[in-house]
Amino acid sequence: MDLLRSLPIGLYLEQPVTWLHRLDPRVKLAWLMTFLAAPLLANPYWRIGLSGLLLLMTLATAIPWRVWRQQMGWLIPLCILVFIITAIAPDGLAVNHQPRLPATELDLPQPTSYQYVLWDGGRFTITRRSLDVAVRISTLIFTLIQSTNLFLLTTAPEEITAGLEELMEPLRRFKLPITEIALTLTLSLRFIPLVLEEVQNLVRSVRTRAINWKKLGIRRSLKVWLVVAEKLLANLLMRAEQIAIAMDVRGFTSPNEHRVQWHQLRLRWRDWLALGSLIPFWFARFYFGGVA
């Protein structure tokens, strides 16, 4: 089991360099916030269209098949499973009604073909409300996870922190530690692969010992996993201490005394084009997306 390859969460793809890599991190942050905010109070058609747009954008980035297959391989089945479970689940409107007149005495044609129950399979029923909730939840999960993964996959951690520090620059007037916040975020993003590596090493160490879990029982098995969790926490604290010592030796004692400018942020024509496309996007959102 290789967690660093099977769970590409929070990892940066250095090669190949796509057109999404070349965009300014501040522009990508704006689009990320757009994808996260656009589904709010939108109708189901807009949510489905937004998920399709995100899928097309993922394909248009020309990311290698081996990379996005690992993400889509579990994300799409998860969204489909959530959609099915939510669609056949009770919609919460358990109202029993009875017609005022017997159906045999008065049988008039209905003015419209509207039906609240779309499919009745006995124990499982799909109504308009359950279908609407299923579309909402499944598309929201897909948009939230895929847009974040695509952003982290095509943006280096240093670019993310540099863009956030640039955007939070006005907050310095309120004496907020912007540089410290950016540095903490950088270390957090860099620490994710270390956590996955430690988890992977501990899981491999448990598997190589060929423990018979049936003979141990539930109580002893919990004790073993408690020891593994304590070892994981100890290893992570040791890694954090090593990083702190390395930064201290290299002079990172104060953000004002030893600052490293990783990227020179500058908006180019492609960045202005991406920013300008936000205007028709939000116009379409309010015109076609409506309010659910």
Question: In which domain, by residue range, is 181 found?
Answer: 3-92+116-289
111 lies in some domain? no
Q: How confident is the model at residue 280 (pLDDT cuts 50, 70, 90)?
A: very high
User: Looking at the 3D structure of the chain, how many domains does it have?
Assistant: 1
Answer whether the bond into residue 16 is a cis peptide, omega within 30°. Answer: yes
CA 31 → CA 238, 242, 270, 277, distances in Å? 37, 36, 14, 10
Residue 238, in any domain of the structure: yes
**267: confidence class by pLDDT, cuts 50, 70, 90:** confident
Q: What is the pTM of this model?
A: 0.74
- CA dist 255 and 177 (Å) reads 10
Helices 128-154 and 65-88: crossing angle in degrees, nearest 10, is: 160
Higher pLDDT, 26 or 194: 26
More confident site: 181 or 142: 142
Is the residue at 240 inside a domain? yes
Residue 195 placed within a domain: yes
The fraction of the chain above a pLDDT of 70, given in percent, is 83
Is residue 109 assigned to a domain?
no
In a domain, 184, yes or no: yes
Residue 180 resides in a domain? yes
- For residue 105, being part of any structural domain is answered with no
